[in-house]
Each structure stands twice: as C-alpha cells, then as structure tokens.
Structure 1
C-alpha cells in the first residue's frame, strides 16, 4: 500500500506550515520522512540546498515534538531542556536554557519535575527542548492532541507566538482543521497520500478546489448542476430547476457538469411570510426547516429543499425577530460571489465525517438525503 504518492512540496523557510488531513492520509509518514524515521522509495528531501535523503535522523537539522512529549520524568525541567546541549558536550548551558525557558514562559518551573506540570506546560517543555538545538526545521506531530479543548486553544496561540519569535520553520501535522487554520501561514490538505490543495487558510477555505477540501475544511452545501449560460465574469448553473450564478474565478472546472457549493455561514434564512420580494441579484432557494440548534452565537438550521436535500444554514443571532421555527417555510439566499463551483464528477461526500453521513443529514451522490431529525 502506498502511504505517500507523488508528493512535491516546497515549504517556505521561516513559515508555520500545516499538513492537514484525516487519519491514514499520509501526513505523519511525510513528517517521518523529513525527520529521517522513514525512507522514501523515490525522490529527494532537501532542507535549504542540502540533500538530506540519505542522512540519519541525528545528522539532519531537524527536531521533532511528538504528542507524548517524551520528557524524562527523573530530570527536572531545566535538565530536560538542557539534555540536547549536554549530549553534544556543551558544558556551559545555563544561559541558553534560561533563555529558552523564558521564551516558553516557564522560568519559575525550572526545578520542577515533568509530573508536577500541566499538559500544556509539559508541551512547552518539549518545544523548548527541541528548539534549544537550533534546528532549521521543527516538526510537530499532533502535539496538542492530548490536551483538552480550552488548553488546546491556548497552546495554539502560544505555539504561533513562539514560532514568530524564533523564526524557525515549523511543520505541523494535524487532523484538526481549527488548529491548522489558527496557527499556519500555509496549509496543505492531504487525502490518500496526495495533496488536494495548498494555500493560505483563508484561500483554501474560501476557494476549495475539490469536494474533499470543501467538506473536510469546515462544512459546505454541495449540489450537482449543469451550465446553462455564461456571462463575462460568471457562469449560470441550473440545479433541480433553479439557476445559480457562480463567479468564473471560483469555478474549478471547464466542463458543463458543475457542483454548486456555498458555506453555511454565507447563507441567510427568512421565513417565507417575512422574506419580502425576491432579490434577483442573489442566489435563492425555498425549503422547510427540519432542525434548529441554538449555539449561543448562532443558530444552525437544516432546511429541506424541494428535491429532498437538506442544506445547512448558520445564522448569527442578531435579533429575536430573525428566529425561524421548526417546520416553517423559508427562503434561503446568498450573494453569488460566495458561491464556488467544483467538477461535476466529484463525490459530494468526499471529506465528510462518517458519523455525519450515518446521521443522514449529508447529501448523497444524487444530491438527496434522508433526515433523522425532522
């Protein structure tokens, strides 16, 4: 079985780079090849202008931080951080260790043992121990996976701060979309050993080029259609008897079979009786609310269309007058500039969490779905 297939990747020096993808997509194998823990069957690995493909792990200018941290429990924090320097025969380590502990904001903890620290503090010790060796590249393999949600979010900010201060290239492997989006300058979305799309977090979120990226990085409403017209800067796509306008710059295919896509938070929802006159400038659908979940900042709706597919709508809670009730007839609409178009041959469920598929709220390949909530 091929773990990584035809991977051609250039990571800018000094950047925070994230390899994002589901379990088994090849991201950790890629990281291990850079670290020298796996041997590629073909190709080369260069760090700067230096070919390190045949070098052993300890000969490469890289250090790795694993999810387990792998701290020495019998050594205090100072000695854990100093370990790499002492192994290289450096005797005067005090200033370097103190500077590194200050960077990760753990100076007062220097003489404590790892077991006396929280998970987030242990993670920062592991980063300090790796950075003190001044690697050209720091590899992070799911380093926040063992932390609870609140601490994980705090550490996302901390890691980005540390990376910005030291200016070393960070390569971060994760399956967590929020983690990648929060920290990385560049994100590469991997699927089945290949990179599906690479770019800034904002670019790949706003302009997904495949259904896998659209579904895995956030959530999307996708439905199939056919091109029925072209304008100077847009195409017109008919889907289930309704025509949608898509900017040409946001269409990832030149064919006439197109998947229409829009993010749930881009869509507005109004009860039909309060919707007013249709706005011809907007893409628009009618449907029935089958589920409504209040989350505080927003209400998340499921709207069943005339053809049976359920669309997701995330509506910010601005006014009690905007609340739409379960079973109510609604109009959903969005600015055409927020629409994207994918190749019509795409699997609409690519990248969708299997649990969501089993719940029955996700479109099938024919654009229909069964609902369990309505």
Structure 2
C-alpha cells in the first residue's frame, strides 16, 4: 500500500528482514501504513505477524532493512511513546497497585486527567469496571487482556499497534472493542493489528495484509 507523500505515512518498513539463526521469519518485507488507515496483518502462526509488530514498535531490532514511524526511528525516546500505544508486549505491573490505580497512573503519566471520565468509560466498555480494586496478578487471562487494552486506550496516541486484541474476549466485548476502534479511526488515529479473527478485523474496517512464510 502506498501514498503520495511521506507526510501521509504513519509507518514505513523497507526491506525488513528478521532471522533467528538459520530461520528467516521476515524476508525483505515492504509495508506502508497511511496515516488514518487501519491494516490487519493476517496469516497462519509463525509467519511473522508479531515479529513485524515488535519491529514497528522498536521492541525488536530487525536483521536488515529499516522501519520509520511518523518519520522517526521507532522506540528511541519519550516522543515516540507519546504517539504510539501498543499491546505487543505486556508491561510489568506494580504488585501493590490495583487495576484502577494502574489506569490512573498511565493516564497521569501521559498528561491526562484521571478524573475526566475516560477511565470509567473505557473500563465499562471492556467490562472491567467491577475489577477496579483488584490486583493485576489476581486476574484471569481474559480479564488481564481487557486490562491491558484499557491501559493502552486511556493514554493518548496517534497509532495503535495491537497484537490479536480480540483474543480471549467474548462476543459482546469484541463488538464494543470494534466500535471503539472505529471511533479511534474516525478521530484521525491509525491502526495496525495482527488478527486471526476475520469477522473482527472486517468489523473494524481494516484492510488485510496477508503474510506468508518466506520461500526457501
């Protein structure tokens, strides 16, 4: 996918290559994500979806090629993380803080007001309002997934990079999540997700980018 000018590009990967020993996961991959677009990375397990997202967020150095996000090298400073929010790598939670206290901390650290109602709105959307006083380590895998999404959504961003955001969510929460992401896009945000759920990413309005294993 291409655009007319670099200023219209949120993410640009050129010749991106990732190898693990003798195994090539991504081989000279080119990808361009226009600002304001939604792209869904699809394909079977092991084709490099998560690896690509890790490279785009600066959490992994590629073996070759380049990645540029909003004109800058990803993951190199605070300015990058003021624009990009991701679920690619789960953060380490503070053992003594509740779910709500974590969300307050994320909101404040990113210049927001924890009392402005956004945390309550996102918590209700994802069905975790009743978990406000719980500790993260006591949550089930599904609850933790919703908590991670909430911590991602309560901070400002221009680009969301989500790795299978629909996993372990029931149908009602998936619908609510898709509606939230459509609203994010309508407000000018850019979305890049990896997903195995075609119904979900189509309901968001994403364009498919099918990855396959490198030949050879």
Both proteins in one fold, TM over 0.5:
yes
**Which digits, 9 at most, give the CA deviation of each residue in 1:153-194, with x for residues without a partner?**
333312211112233222111234444334342111110159
3-state SS, counterpart of residue 51 of structure 1: coil
1:101 aligns with 2:101: no
Q: Structure 2 CA distance, aligned partners of 1:123 and 1:190? A: 25
Q: Structure 2 CA distance, aligned partners of 1:14 and 1:8? A: 19
The correspondence for 1:169, drawn from 178, 187, 190, is: 190
The correspondence for 1:25, drawn from 47, 50, 54, is: 47
Q: Structure 1 CA distance, aligned partners of 2:200 and 2:156? A: 24
In the TM superposition, what is the alpha-carbon distance from 1:139 to its structure 2 partner? 1.4
Q: Structure 1 CA distance, aligned partners of 2:212 and 2:123? A: 33
1:47 aligns with 2:65: no
1:21-170 equivalence runs, <5 A: 21-48=43-70, 50-53=71-74, 55=76, 59-60=80-81, 61-66=83-88, 72=94, 74-87=96-109, 93-96=113-116, 98-105=117-124, 108-109=129-130, 111-113=132-134, 114=136, 121-147=143-169, 151=170, 153-167=171-185, 168-170=189-191
Q: Structure 1 CA distance, aligned partners of 2:109 and 2:80? A: 14
3-state SS, counterpart of residue 10 of structure 1: strand
TM-score between both structures, scaled by the size of structure 2: 0.68
In the TM superposition, what is the alpha-carbon distance from 1:20 to its structure 2 partner? 0.6
Counterpart contact for 2:41–2:192, Cα < 8 Å: yes
Question: Which protein is richer in strand relative to its size?
Answer: 1
In the TM superposition, what is the alpha-carbon distance from 1:104 to its structure 2 partner? 4.4
CA-based RMSD = 3.3
Instruction: Structure 2 unaligned segments of length 5 or more: list them.
Output: 1-22
Instruction: Structure 1 unaligned segments of length 5 or more: list them.
Output: 195-374
Q: Structure 2 CA distance, aligned partners of 1:94 and 1:57? A: 20
Question: Which protein is richer in helix relative to its size?
Answer: 2
TM-score between both structures, scaled by the size of structure 1: 0.42
Q: Structure 1 CA distance, aligned partners of 2:101 and 2:94? A: 9
Q: Structure 2 CA distance, aligned partners of 1:127 and 1:143? A: 7
Tell me the equivalent position of 2:6.
none
The correspondence for 2:30, drawn from 1, 8, 14, is: 8
Larger Rg: 1
Q: Which has the higher contact order (CA 8 A, sep 6+)?
A: 2
TM-aligned CA distance change 1:126 to 1:132, over 3 Å: same
